[in-house]
Structure 1
C-alpha cells in the first residue's frame, strides 16, 4: 500500500509547548502547517512530570500569542521565591518588587496549555493538520536539503512534504539525530539527577511561593501546583536512584523530611510507591548549528537546559515567537524561499542563542552553589544568597536572565492579563 502524502509549508515534529506555539504563530500568519505528535491524545498515562513553570516572560509570550486569556483560569500565580539553607532563610524574593510589566511566574499544567494552544490554532486562517499519534522515522530529501518527514501512524505511513521541517521533539530529538545536527553537539552531564513527585501541600505553607531547601550538599525544589498539591524535585547524585530504591521508600520519605520537616506527614500519606515518582536525568546539550537546508531545531532539541528555575518551556515559547515571523517573511519569497528560509533560520539562532547561553550559565552557577557540601563552602553560599537578597540591583542582575529576559525595566503598568488568574 503506497504511503499517504500530505503537503504543507512547514512540518513541525513535536507537539509540546514549543511546537504547538510555533504552529499557532504560523497559522495566525496564514501559513499551512502539519504537526506530528508522538503521544496518543486519547490515552491516559501514569505520573508524568513535564514542565509546568511559566516565567513572567513566558506569560508575556502567551499573551502575545493570544493564549493567555485561554489558560489564565488554569494557572496558579506565584508571588515569592525563598531559599532556606541549614534551616534558615537566606533569600526571600518578591516578584512584585521587580520593575517589569509582567512580573509573576505561574504554574500551569501542561495539558491545559497544550489544549489551549491547539484550540486557538484551529481557529486561525492558516490550516494546521495534526497527526497524532505519529512518529517521525526518516527525513525526506532532495540533494542536500530536507524536504519533509516520513512518519508512522496507526493507519500506515505518511510522507509530509514541506519547505521546512522543524524539530521541536525534545531533549532526545529524532530530527536532530536524523538531520546530522546532533553530530557535533556537546552533552554535559550534571552531577545530580532529579526525582520528581507530587505531595499534598502542607497546610501552613504559603501556596504562592517557590521554595528551595538546602542541607549540606543535598537540596530539593518545592513548587506549588495549580491542583493544590506541591511538586517536589529532589536532587540525588548522578545514578543514585538505584541506591535510594534499594534502601526502600522510607529512605526517600526521610530524605524529604530532613530537608523540609513540614512535608513529613504529606510524604507518609501521599507517597505510596515508586510508581508515584519519575526520574529526570539531568544534562545540558549545546548544539553548534540549529539548522541545515530545509530543517531547523527548536526548544530542547536545539538547547537542552537543566530544570533549575524552570527554563525549558519558556525558552521553547521564546524560540517559537522569534522564529515564526522570520519564516513568514522567508516563505513570502516564493521561488526563492529555500535560500530565504536558510537565512531566516540562521538569524533565529543568532537572536536566540545569547539568551539561552545566559540561562545555561545561571543554571550551572546555581547547580554548583546547591551542591557545595563542605562547612566553609556552605557558609560562603549562605553569605552569597544574603548579599543578593539585600540588594535590589543584584536581585535584578541575577534573576532577570531567568524570569525577565525579554522585558525592559521601568514599565510598572499592570495590564489586565497580569491580574491574579486564581
Structure 2
C-alpha cells in the first residue's frame, strides 16, 4: 500500500505532534507515524518551561491542558543540608514566567486532538519506520511497518522526530555526523508519596558531596525523584540491595526515609535513564530533517528535552510551509534552504542549553571539600543577585521571550506567533 503526502513525520512525541499541528494550521498535509500505540511512556519529560508554556499558548493548546497542569513557583538547591539557592520565578520580567508540570500522555492527547480539529493529518499508530524511500540521492518518504503490513509513505520532506535513538537519523546517514558524549552520571527514576511538609510548587535539587538528586512534583500528586549514580553504576547499586538505594535517598533527603522504605519494594519500581548528549553536526540531507532529541539529545538537568522539541517544531513549520508553496521546479532547492535556515536558527539556543547543563553536571559532581565549598559559594552568590539569576537561567527557561522593564509584556514575536 502506498500513501502520498507533503510531510511525513516519524515520531509522535511532543516535537512530532507539535510539528504536525503547526503544519496543518498552515494548510499542509501530514502523515505521522507513531510506534507506541496509545502513547505509553514511562518516566518521560513532564516539565514544561515558561517558554514551552508560551509555545503551547501560541498553538492554542494551553487552554486544553490548563486544568491538568501543575504550576511551579520556585527552584531550590540545597547543598550539604543547607539551602544555597532559592529562585522565585515570579520575579522574572517575562510574559510567561512559571514552568508547569504536565503529564506527557495528556500533552500528546491535547496536541492530537487539536490537530484532528484542523484536518489534514493522517496518523498511523502503531507504525515504525523500517527504511527510507530514495530517488536520485534524495529521501522521498518512508517505508513503514504497520499491523496491516509494510506501507510506503511518499513525501516531499521526511522529518525524524523519533528521539535519542532515531531510526531516521540512522537510515539517512546523518548518524555519521553525530557525536555522542556520555556524562559521568546515570539517573534512577522513581516515584514516592509527596511529603506533607514540602512545598508542592517547588523544584528541588539536593546535593551531598558528589551525589545529587532531583525532586519534582507530579500532576498526580506524587514526587518524581531522579537519583544520580555513577555512569554504569546500577549493577553495583543493585548488588547492595534496596537498602543501599534507600540509604542513598536518605542521605539526600532524610525526610523521605520512611516513604522510600514503604514504597520502593522492588527494582521494578525504578527506571534507569542512560545520560548522554548527542550533538549532530548536520540536521538535514536532501528530503529529510531531524528535530528534537533526534537532532540534539540533552540531559534531564533543567528539563530541556521537551521544550527544545516544541521550539524546533514551531521554528521548522513556517519554513517548511513557505518552501512547499514554491513552484515545483524550485521546491527541492527551497526545502534545502528552509532546513538549513532551521538549523541555523535553532543551533544557538540548543548550544546554550547544553552548555548550561554540562556546567551544572560538573558543579553537581564536585566531591572534594574545597571544590564543594566553592560550589556553595557560587550558588549563594547567584542567590543574592536577581540580575545574575536572569543572566544564568534565561537561556534555559526564557529563550524566546524578551524581558521588559515593567516586568510584563507579551514576549518577542517568534515563529510560534507566526502560526496564529
Q: TM-score interval w.r.t. the shorter chain? A: over 0.9
Give distance in 1, aligned partners of 2:167 and 2:356. Answer: 28
Give distance in 2, aligned partners of 1:295 and 1:59. Answer: 28
Matched, 1:212 2:209: no
Give distance in 2, aligned partners of 1:93 and 1:413. Answer: 18
Matched, 1:147 2:128: no
Matched, 1:260 2:253: yes
Q: Secondary structure at 1:122's aligned position in 2?
A: helix
Q: Is the 8 A contact 2:93 2:408 kept in 1?
A: no
Which residue number corresponds to residue 348 of structure 2?
354
Which residue number corresponds to residue 397 of structure 2?
403
Q: Any residues of structure 2 matched to 1:11-410 within 5 Å, and which?
A: 11-41=8-38, 48-125=42-119, 127-335=120-328, 336-410=330-404
Cα deviation 1:130-174 (Å, max 9, x = unaligned):
001101000000011000000001110110000000000000000
**How far is the alpha carbon of 1:334 from its aligned partner?**
3.2
Cα deviation 1:206-263 (Å, max 9, x = unaligned):
0000000000000000000011001000000000001111111111111101100111
Give distance in 2, aligned partners of 1:235 and 1:182. Answer: 28
Which residue number corresponds to residue 419 of structure 1?
none
Give distance in 2, aligned partners of 1:412 and 1:389. Answer: 19
**How far is the alpha carbon of 1:64 from its aligned partner?**
0.4
Give distance in 1, aligned partners of 2:379 and 2:393. Answer: 12
**How far is the alpha carbon of 1:412 from its aligned partner?**
3.1
Give distance in 2, aligned partners of 1:192 and 1:246. Answer: 18
Which of 407, 410, 417 is the equivalent residue of 1:412?
407
**How far is the alpha carbon of 1:414 from its aligned partner?**
7.4
Q: Secondary structure at 2:7's aligned position in 1?
A: strand
Give distance in 1, aligned partners of 2:268 and 2:223. Answer: 17
**How far is the alpha carbon of 1:94 from its aligned partner?**
0.3
Give distance in 1, aligned partners of 2:407 and 2:79. Answer: 32
Cα deviation 1:284-327 (Å, max 9, x = unaligned):
00011100000000000000000000000000000001000000
Q: Secondary structure at 1:41's aligned position in 2?
A: helix
How large is the Cα RMSD of the aligned pairs?
A: 1.1
TM-score normalised over the length of structure 1 = 0.95
Give distance in 1, aligned partners of 2:92 and 2:257. Answer: 34
Cα deviation 1:2-57 (Å, max 9, x = unaligned):
xx111110000000000000000001111000000000128x67xx1100000000
* Runs of 4+ more than 6 Å apart: none
Give distance in 1, aligned partners of 2:15 and 2:35. Answer: 14
Which residue number corresponds to residue 413 of structure 2?
none
**How far is the alpha carbon of 1:271 from its aligned partner?**
1.1
Give distance in 2, aligned partners of 1:206 and 1:382. Answer: 22
Identify unmatched segments of 5+ residues in structure 2. 411-420
Give distance in 2, aligned partners of 1:224 and 1:21. Answer: 24
Matched residues, number: 408
Give distance in 2, aligned partners of 1:87 and 1:401. Answer: 28
Give distance in 2, aligned partners of 1:162 and 1:393. Answer: 48
TM-score normalised over the length of structure 2 = 0.96
